[in-house]
Chains A and B, each alone.
Chain A
Amino acid sequence: MSAIGHHVPESMLAAYAAGSLPNAFAVVVASHVSLCGQCRVALEAHQNVGGLLLEDAKTVSVSSRLKADILSQLDAPYRPEPVYDRSGIYPGPVMETLKGRKPRWKNLGRGVRQDILSEGKKGSVRLLYIPPGQAVPDHGHNGLELTLVLQGSFSDETGRFGVGDLEVADEELDHTPVADDGDACICLAATDAPLRFHAFMPRLLQPLFRI
């Protein structure tokens, strides 16, 4: 397996650390960081900046009973949040979004499949399965589109993307990613734009439907 060459942009790591990234993108960033030591330490550096600002924050006194309240709860039973481990090619944050289940693939034609993990007004995130030689479905159209490779690889005008690589594409990038030979390409893909009816049709089919 070759080294990861396409990383999370610095501004996006900062936005993730601050919690201001839309949820669909946060899933992709957390997944990339799970696979990439370089972005993990960069994220930790951003968290250190955040920590320093917390240290310097203007203090506001807390109500007098808060401390006693908290101390009295230290031994109280509580339900730990579930931790989702990596499963096969799927990093923990993907398993968390899947709530531990296996992907439920739906055919889009020509062997291309998808599983929409979440969608809402602020964006959507999905898994895509693309057989070798097939085009990666367009999931952005407008707005920003993140694609993280989990298995296999794809190539487009900007380069080749293998396991762990993240492609960041905005509406200005006119590209046609195609899955490379070998294993089918499985990607985690997110967009912050509202979904459109044909938005997840494979690009190669789109001319037929005059989109």
Chain B
Amino acid sequence: MVQTDTEYSQQTQWMIAVRDRRDRNAFAALFDHFAPRLKGFVMRSGASDHQAEEIVQDVMLAVWRKAASFDPHRAQVSAWIYQIARNRHIDIVRKENRPMPEELREDPGTEADASQIMGLEQETRHLKSALDKLRPEQREIIEKAYLGELTHQEISTQTGLPLGTIKSRIRLGLERLRHELKDLKS
């Protein structure tokens, strides 16, 4: 069966083109989209302009070099890049290496499951609209937590953080999180 990926989000299509065809134009498009966001994101968490560009460079090179480990069934492009960016940030700012879980290895020749990929994208869109509807101070706490500005202790005592809801399956988890975020609005 021939799998078409035309219904995937633009970024997923770019990333698959980089992964499977080493497509430089697609990589350049990913750079144009993500580099200014990465720089803003990294500077918000305290990096200098110079450090931020160093991190952007390292992250984008890692996107090219580690493309084989991008799996759209499990992560959005932005989530995959977020995790690389946090690693580089820790590496450069804290001079530490964050230990990473073993990578899941798929059997060679496993076909893409388009419905799962699009299901994850859809759930992520729902999650996004829920995040967009948060009150500014709740949004602020979430941003601080995921930018690494809160300690574990602070996260566990933040009652406003909708963490307890992320459940055993990623889509269900995102679904639940969305409902929880909705509840928080009241």
Q: Check if A and B associate.
A: yes
Most chain B C-beta atoms within 10 Å of own C-beta, residue among A17, A51, A78, A93: A51
In terms of DSSP, what is the predominant structure of the interface of chain A? helix
Most chain A C-beta atoms within 10 Å of own C-beta, residue among B41, B64, B142: B41
B149 to chain A, nearest CB (A): 8
Task: Say whether B147 contacts A53, CB under 8 Å.
Answer: yes
A191 to chain B, nearest CB (A): 13
Does A80 sit within 8 A of B, measured CB to CB? yes
Task: Say whether A91 contacts B102, CB under 8 Å.
Answer: yes
In terms of DSSP, what is the predominant structure of the interface of chain B? helix
Task: Say whether B53 contacts A66, CB under 8 Å.
Answer: yes
- How many CB-defined contacts (below 8 Å) exist between A and B? 207
Task: Considering the complex, give the chain A residue whose CB is closest to the CB of B125.
Answer: A52
Task: Sort chain B's interface into a size bin.
Answer: 35 or more
A33 to B36, CA, bound (A): 32
| Chain A residues, Cβ within 8 Å of B75 | 44, 47-48, 51
A150 to chain B, nearest CB (A): 14
Q: B-side interface residues toward A, CB under 8 Å?
A: 24, 27-28, 31-32, 34-41, 43-44, 52-53, 56-57, 60-61, 64-65, 74-83, 85-87, 89-90, 96-104, 124, 127-128, 131, 142-143, 145-152, 155-156, 161, 163-164, 166-170, 173-174, 177
Q: A-side interface residues toward B, CB under 8 Å?
A: 9-15, 17-23, 25-27, 30-31, 33-34, 38, 40-63, 66-67, 69-71, 73-74, 78, 80, 83, 85-86, 91-93, 96-97
